[in-house]
């Protein structure tokens, strides 16, 4: 990600917590300046929502899962509409 998007940034607009997990809503932004997933640099900006789930057992992080829609990212790199 850092080679393809040297200005890569993640904003954390919301966090939710439960007894054994923290769910984080994120927004990934950056400018496509290097190869990514077989696509040559386009110079286009990305704005992609993500969700991260962090599972805990007491105070120990046991698992981290991050989900995002690769189709949204690819569409933005190919000139489609950015996410709101």
Residue 83 lies in a domain: no
Residue 20 sits in a domain of what CATH number?
3.10.450.50
64 within domain boundaries: yes
Tokens encoding 35: 């190869």
Structural domain that includes position 63: 9-77
The answer to whether residue 84 is domain-embedded is: no
Could you give the CA distance from residue 27 to residue 25 in angstroms, rounded to a whole number?
7
The Cβ-side half-sphere exposure at 14, using a 13 Å CA radius, reads 6
1 in a structural domain: no
Per-residue pLDDT of the chain (84 residues; tens, 9 = 90+): 899 999 999 999 899 999 899 999 999 999 999 999 899 999 999 999 999 999 999 989 999 999 999 999 999 999 866 555
Number of domains present in the structure of the chain: 1
pTM of the model: 0.78
Residue 25 inside a domain? The answer is: yes
In angstroms, rounded to a whole number, what is the distance separating the alpha carbons of residues 51 and 28?
A: 10
């Amino acid at each position: 990600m850092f080679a393809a998007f040297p200005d890569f940034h993640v904003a954390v607009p919301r966090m939710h917590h439960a007894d054994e997990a923290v769910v984080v809503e994120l927004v990934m932004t950056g400018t496509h300046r290097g190869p990514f997933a077989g696509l040559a640099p386009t110079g286009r900006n990305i704005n992609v929502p993500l969700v991260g789930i962090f599972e805990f057992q007491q105070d120990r992080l046991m698992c981290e899962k991050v989900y995002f829609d690769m189709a949204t990212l690819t569409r933005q790199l190919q000139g489609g509409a950015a996410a709101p």
